[in-house]
């Protein structure tokens, strides 16, 4: 029993730590929370948490076929993720948001927000490599087995969700103090940041692939 508690504890710690850096998903969570609602901001984070859990499962259950695919196709995955992020930023720049559109939520928009967080996380091969290394350390200390792997993955999901709940809570508190005009300006700045980050990620992948740098 002690090893299962230890496994889920380390999973929570690692899942929380992996989610903390404010990357593309974090930017989207903050933007959606401020411009729409906490639910809209939480859904990309939930998508990222599920993607983290899936990648952790690959590591914890030693699914070598999937890991080999991620390793072999990491260039393509990073290109796809970068392009997706770049497209999100460009659409944010060209979209004209009035007050009603900013706050409007539909089932399709909520699904899109969930998918965006999931897709950006699942196409990041570095996350899979990190989970492989950390689970190897955890299993070396507390042992292997299906139960250990399962509790580790559950911990990863819980830890990731805890961070997104905290982030959207803080962003939601800030949102109540911001006017609509400021929200419109922030939307543009968030879109610009996504374009810059997406462009940087895309160029860095291409430069590394063609050995330019």
CA distance 3 to 148: 7
CA 59 to the chain's CA centroid: 18
What separation in angstroms does the CA of 97 have from each of 11, 13, 18, 26, 35?
40, 39, 33, 21, 10
Report yes or no: 82 and 205 within 8 Å, Cβ to Cβ: yes
- Per-residue model confidence (pLDDT) at position 142: 67
Give the residue from 23, 28, 29 showing the smallest Cα distance to 168.
29
Contacts of 69-76 with CB under 8 Å at 24 or more apart are 70/125, 70/128, 71/125, 74/125, 75/205, 75/209
For residue 4, with 0-12 CB atoms within 10 Å meaning exposed, 13-18 middle and 19 or more buried, which class applies? middle
Indicate the pTM of the whole model: 0.77
- Per-residue model confidence (pLDDT) at position 141: 67
CB-CB neighbours of 142 under 10 Å: 19
The Cβ-side half-sphere exposure at 161, using a 13 Å CA radius, reads: 11
CA distance 169 to 164: 8
Q: Is 212 helix (H, G, I), strand (E, B) or coil?
A: coil
- Per-residue model confidence (pLDDT) at position 64: 60
- Per-residue model confidence (pLDDT) at position 45: 92
pLDDT tens over the chain, length 213 residues: 777 788 888 889 988 988 887 778 888 898 888 888 888 889 999 999 999 898 888 877 766 666 667 667 777 777 887 887 788 788 777 766 555 455 566 777 788 889 988 988 888 777 777 777 777 777 766 666 778 888 888 999 999 999 999 999 988 888 777 765 666 677 777 778 878 877 887 888 777 766 654
What separation in angstroms does the CA of 17 have from each of 14, 64, 134, 175?
5, 25, 12, 25
The Cβ-side half-sphere exposure at 91, using a 13 Å CA radius, reads: 6
- Per-residue model confidence (pLDDT) at position 155: 92
**Tokens 């990190």 sit at which residue?**
130
């Amino acid at each position: 029993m002690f090893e299962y508690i230890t496994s889920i504890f380390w999973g929570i710690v690692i899942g929380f730590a992996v989610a903390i850096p404010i990357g593309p998903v974090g930017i989207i969570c903050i933007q959606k929370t401020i411009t729409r609602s906490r639910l809209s901001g939480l859904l990309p984070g939930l998508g990222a948490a599920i993607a983290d859990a899936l990648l952790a499962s690959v590591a914890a259950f030693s699914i070598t076929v999937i890991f080999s695919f991620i390793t072999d196709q990491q260039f393509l995955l990073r290109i796809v993720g970068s392009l997706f992020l770049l497209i999100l930023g460009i659409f944010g720049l060209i979209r004209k948001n009035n007050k009603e559109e900013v706050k409007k939520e539909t089932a399709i928009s909520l699904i899109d927000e969930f998918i965006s967080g999931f897709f950006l996380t699942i196409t990041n091969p570095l996350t899979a490599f990190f989970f492989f290394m950390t689970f190897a350390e955890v299993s070396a200390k507390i042992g292997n087995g299906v139960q250990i792997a399962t509790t580790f993955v559950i911990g990863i999901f819980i830890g990731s969700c805890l961070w997104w709940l905290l982030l959207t809570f803080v962003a939601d508190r800030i949102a109540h103090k911001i006017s609509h005009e400021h929200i419109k300006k922030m939307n543009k700045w968030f879109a610009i940041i996504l374009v810059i980050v997406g462009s940087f990620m895309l160029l860095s992948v291409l430069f590394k692939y063609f050995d330019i740098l």
